[in-house]
Amino acid sequence: MFTFSEENYLKTIYHLSEHSEKGVSTNAIAKKIETKASSVTDMIKKLAEKEVLVYKKYQGVTLTKKGKKTAAMIVRKHRLWEVFLVEKLNFNWDEVHDVAEQLEHIKSQKLIDEMDALLGFPTVDPHGDLIPDKEGNLHPTKNRLLSSLEKNESGICTGVDDSSSAFLQFLDKQGIALGKQITVIEKEPFDDSITIKIDDREMAISKKIATNLYLKTDDHL
Amino acid sequence: MFTFSEENYLKTIYHLSEHSEKGVSTNAIAKKIETKASSVTDMIKKLAEKEVLVYKKYQGVTLTKKGKKTAAMIVRKHRLWEVFLVEKLNFNWDEVHDVAEQLEHIKSQKLIDEMDALLGFPTVDPHGDLIPDKEGNLHPTKNRLLSSLEKNESGICTGVDDSSSAFLQFLDKQGIALGKQITVIEKEPFDDSITIKIDDREMAISKKIATNLYLKTDDHL
DNA sequence: AAATATTTTTAGGGTTGTCTAAAAATTATT
DNA sequence: AATAATTTTTAGACAACCCTAAAAATATTT
Ligand SMILES: [Mn+2]
Ligand SMILES: [Mn+2]
Ligand SMILES: [Mn+2]
Ligand SMILES: [Mn+2]
């Protein structure tokens, strides 16, 4: 079990590790956490003791596997709470962060699992940041046109290019909505039409539609 | 702003004050909070300093108006979170307390207001305890049979006496469900039937139904 | 009213997490 | 390579909150 302060350090180091390969410097941590370098040194010694990071004097720190997972779970909680606040409690995306900073420290596995389910297992938060899965892994997604998917690939409908109401109404009539899973069953080179499966129904989609519909796909890196 | 620890002391003293008129003793607080009497003395000195309670050496403590309201808001949050966990996240009523102990310390007025609205402004928690209102006041309610209400009184449907599935199905068909507000429009002495308003519809209710349906009413003591 | 038992406070100390100031190590500049 | 600048660590201290042991006040018995 970690204290709020320990969790904040872990999360910060996790974020700082994302965009650089080397160890994270004491000063970088101090800046992000708005504390003094000497306080950081104290804390990273304690965290090294707890084996969530590796620390060599003057060389910065690197998270261990355990540390990475612990940090990812805090980020997961933070982002799930942000989704909750926006989706269920009418918060704007720009007013959720401070509350999520508090909520991310609540300890209850059931709470976070149920929240995940209530929200429909979201993969991105209101700022577009990826939500780590239960194992702490990120699943990078790209928004791709339906027309760019190969046979047997699938994805979740995320948006449209042409947002004319005629097009949106057409999608609605076909039962194609944001969040629905679509699998490519067949691609027809003759007219570039595509057969898809949605809600266990199969249907043919014209080239025009397929080049206007965005899906997010799990690329698993 | 109060620390978690200060909030826990305030909440404990608030609860201990409910069932006795005199000042709350150091030992009583220590017992509830599972700490030592000497620690309690330290803390109540600090809280007296902050003017949330009155402390006279060896005489126990009494909450000030400010202290009472602060404590009531913590209890309000605790109980609203308990309702949320049961109603929205499939918790059982006996597994919500520990998580609520954590969640009650989250600071965000909007969070608690929106939560209140999402839950339909509940007045009791899953254990049947009253939820203080936004001003920190309690509104004692009694469960009363619909047949006992006077003309123009209203209440929220809380349960049934006869729980046979025939009766429940009848209620369902009439659109009478737990949580719905019912107002008595007219009482007919001739056959003891009652005209009620529910969801802006008026309907006649027979004596048999009216003596099997419990409502909770605001008695405002 | 004394003596005894209980409650409460004080005195002194420990841990966590923070700070400032000074020393040590590393990095950049000349 | 020597010097200067920067980063990092150490040393010592402080506030919040908790503890144990002893002293003081209050309550209960005799
Ligand atoms: Mn955020
Ligand atoms: Mn975010
Ligand atoms: Mn509770
Ligand atoms: Mn409760």
pLDDT in tens, A133-154: 999 999 887 788 899 888 988 8
The reply to whether A40 has its C-beta less than 7 Å from any atom of strand D is yes
State the smallest CA–CA distance between residue A95 and chain B in angstroms. 10
Per 3-state DSSP, chain A is made up of helix, strand and coil in percentages (nearest 5) of 45, 20, 35
CB atoms within 10 A of CB A48: 16
- CA of residue B7 to ligand 2 center, whole Å: 29
The reply to whether B3 has its C-beta less than 7 Å from any atom of strand D is yes
Q: Over chain B, what is the mean pLDDT? A: 92
Written in H, E and C, the secondary structure of A9-67 is: HHHHHHHHHHCCCCCECHHHHHHHHCCCHHHHHHHHHHHHHCCCEEECCCCCEEECHHH
Per 3-state DSSP, chain B is made up of helix, strand and coil in percentages (nearest 5) of 45, 20, 35
What band does A221 get if pLDDT is binned at 50, 70 and 90?
Answer: very low
What band does A220 get if pLDDT is binned at 50, 70 and 90?
Answer: low
The reply to whether B39 has its C-beta less than 7 Å from any atom of strand D is yes
Q: How distant is C1' of D10 from CA of B52, in Å?
A: 41
All residues of chain B having their beta carbon less than 8 Å from the beta carbon of residue A118 are: 88-89
Q: What residues have CB less than 8 Å from B22, skipping those under 6 apart? A: B60
> Can you tell me the distance from the alpha carbon of B30 to that of B138, in angstroms, rounded to the nearest whole number?
26
What band does A19 get if pLDDT is binned at 50, 70 and 90?
Answer: confident
Higher per-residue pLDDT: B114 or B191: B114
pLDDT at B171: 86
Give the E-state strand segments of chain B in sequence order: 53-55, 61-63, 141-145, 154-160, 181-188, 193-198, 201-205, 213-218
Q: Do B108 and A99 touch (CB under 8 A)?
A: yes
pTM for the complete prediction?
A: 0.78
Q: What is the mean pLDDT of residues A181-202?
A: 91
Distances in Å between the Cα of B85 and the Cα atoms of A41, A104, A114 are: 39, 16, 9
pLDDT in tens, B4-19: 999 999 999 999 999 8
pLDDT in tens, A82-126: 999 999 999 998 999 999 999 999 999 999 999 999 999 999 898
Nucleotide nearest to B26 (CA to C1'): C8
Quick check: B219 pLDDT over 70?
no
Burial of A40 (0-12, 13-18, 19+ CB in 10 A): buried
pLDDT at A2: 97
Q: Do B106 and A95 touch (CB under 8 A)?
A: no
| Nucleotides in chain D with any atom closer than 7 Å to protein CB | 7-12, 16-22, 25-26
> Can you tell me the distance from the alpha carbon of B44 to that of B46, in angstroms, rounded to the nearest whole number?
5
> Can you tell me the distance from the alpha carbon of A210 to that of A194, in angstroms, rounded to the nearest whole number?
7
State the smallest CA–CA distance between residue A91 and chain B in angstroms. 8
pLDDT in tens, B180-212: 889 999 998 889 899 999 998 999 999 999 998
Percentage with pLDDT > 70 across chain B: 99
Q: Do A102 and B108 touch (CB under 8 A)?
A: yes
- CA of residue B81 to ligand 4 center, whole Å: 9
Identify from A86, A89, A105, A109 which residue to disrupt to test chain B contact, counting B C-beta atoms within 10 A and taking the largest count. Answer: A89
Quick check: B221 pLDDT over 60?
no
Nearest to B89 among A89, A90, A118 (CB): A118
Scanning B49-88 for CB atoms below 8 A from A yields 85, 88
Q: How distant is C1' of D22 from CA of B62, in Å?
A: 28
All residues of chain B having their beta carbon less than 8 Å from the beta carbon of residue A91 are: 110, 114
Pairing of strands A181-188, B154-160: unpaired
Scanning B81-120 for CB atoms below 8 A from A yields 85, 88-91, 95, 98-99, 102-103, 106-108, 110-111, 114-115, 118
pLDDT in tens, A20-60: 888 999 999 999 999 999 999 999 999 999 999 999 999 99
Percentage with pLDDT > 90 across chain B: 67
Cα three-residue angle A118-A123-A125, rounded to 5 degrees = 85
pLDDT in tens, B31-40: 999 999 999 9
pLDDT at A143: 81
Q: What is the mean pLDDT of residues B71-76?
A: 98
What band does B220 get if pLDDT is binned at 50, 70 and 90?
Answer: low
Burial of A38 (0-12, 13-18, 19+ CB in 10 A): exposed
Quick check: A219 pLDDT over 70?
no
